[in-house]
Amino acid sequence: MVDQKIPLGPVEPTPDDQQEFDQKIRDNFPANRTIGYIHGILHFAGLGFYWPATVIPKFVYDLTGSDFLVGLVTSVGFALNQVSQLFGSAFVEHMAVKKRPLLWYGLWARAPMLLIAMSVMFFSRDVTFPVFLSLYVVASASMGLYLLVWTDLMSKIIPVEYRGSYFGVRNFFASSATALAGIAAGRIIETYLYPTGYALSFLLAFLVMTADLFVIARTKEVPSLKVNPPTTVREKLKSIPTYFAQDRNFAVYCYVRSFSNVSRAGIPFYILAATSKLELTPQESAATVGVFTFALLATQTIGNLLWGYYSQGRGWKAPLELACLLIGVASFFVPSLTSLTGFIVVVALSGLSDSGFMLPSLNILMEFGKPESRSSYIGIANGVSAIGALISPLLAGTIAQQLTYDILFYFVGAASIISYLLMRFLVTDPRHLSDQEKPAIEI
């Protein structure tokens, strides 16, 4: 039964065990759904105070005046968030209960924000950037580990038939909270500028996101019926070719998903392009942080509902395709923009597209492979995606620094259309594969 010793490796649970496990999951679902909604609101409200697509790029530019360093920080943040999940799967896949490591990784992801706030307030600019970058590395890597365990936990406690509507509604509330927090962050930064405005915003991020840990700690988790044997990071890395060889569809998805990171590489540069093209004053540019964050996240809020319900019967690949297509079209419009209203419209379209990346790319990983290998699938996919996440912002920053913002957005637009075609014609949605068609990976 579910309270007995957890079998490792190939031992399969009996039908009675599985039936009891599934019933407990369904019994706990109403409580876990409420906990998940509250956690999502607090977590994403905290993120809104240092949103990586608007607040962090503006902070880095105000601190250093360098487009390249904006790209570097974005690259480091995205890449470490993804690649740490590849290593993290070796640490947690053998655990029948995921909640404890989730809380530890969550704490490590949040503590650096408090230290960043203090460094911004009390250190000189020359000292602040290396301190910030070091702490941002820790926060990004730890958030990746946190996301890995959270995704694995959600795949266990949220029945598959409810995932579309659950994550759609959860992310609707979460994105609404982020949008409001983004407005508040913009107002704070506009009022106090550098350094006080950023220090206050980062401090609020730490406080709100720490509160969400107390909420998610109340999640009701049933120990897994079956887990994979313990492994090392080295063994996990060596297993990647095996996963790719035995699940070719998963391999193709990972490559395409990595390339599609280029589609999102232009988002951190919207505010910098608007500041340059429209010749905004420092106060106007600071106020634009809040406006753009709200526009980006308000449409993400709508998008989360739309993509969630759209994917309910179709699977999660279709929203990814449309997200690539939409952000490609939006990027091609940027060079012709001459007003703040035009930028807001493009940012809003990108927010709708961005939710089409975030929600589906998270949930589609819950449907590849067998449950006992889910952490590996999540870690490998996000680890491979880190290649694109590392290169794309660096390339974007270099193009912006050495060429022009217009060329950057033409490049992003073309890459987005290519991503759409690759996802559309080369990847099969795992939702449409039977359990028999999903390989049980033999290492």
Has residue 9 been placed in a domain? no
CA distance 81 to 388: 12
Task: Judge if pTM exceeds 0.75.
Answer: no
Q: What is the pLDDT of residues 78-93, one digit of tens each?
A: 778 877 877 777 777 7
Has residue 2 been placed in a domain? no
> Which has the minimum average pLDDT: 97-101, 172-176, 207-211?
172-176
Has residue 198 been placed in a domain? yes
Q: What is the pLDDT of residues 399-428, one digit of tens each?
A: 988 899 999 999 999 999 999 999 999 998
Contact 170, 40 (CB under 8 A): yes
Q: What is the pLDDT of residues 235-252, one digit of tens each?
A: 777 888 888 888 888 999
Has residue 333 been placed in a domain? yes
Has residue 10 been placed in a domain? no
Q: What is the pLDDT of residues 302-357, one digit of tens each?
A: 887 787 777 766 778 888 898 899 999 999 999 999 899 999 999 999 888 888 88
Has residue 30 been placed in a domain? yes
What pLDDT shows up at residue 390?
A: 80
Tell me the two tokens of residue 267.
Answer: 């988002």
How many domains does the chain contain in total? Answer: 1
User: Which range marks the domain in which residue 51 is found?
Assistant: 23-222+230-437
Has residue 3 been placed in a domain? no
Query: What is the CATH classification number for the domain harbouring 159?
Result: 1.20.1250.20
Has residue 8 been placed in a domain? no
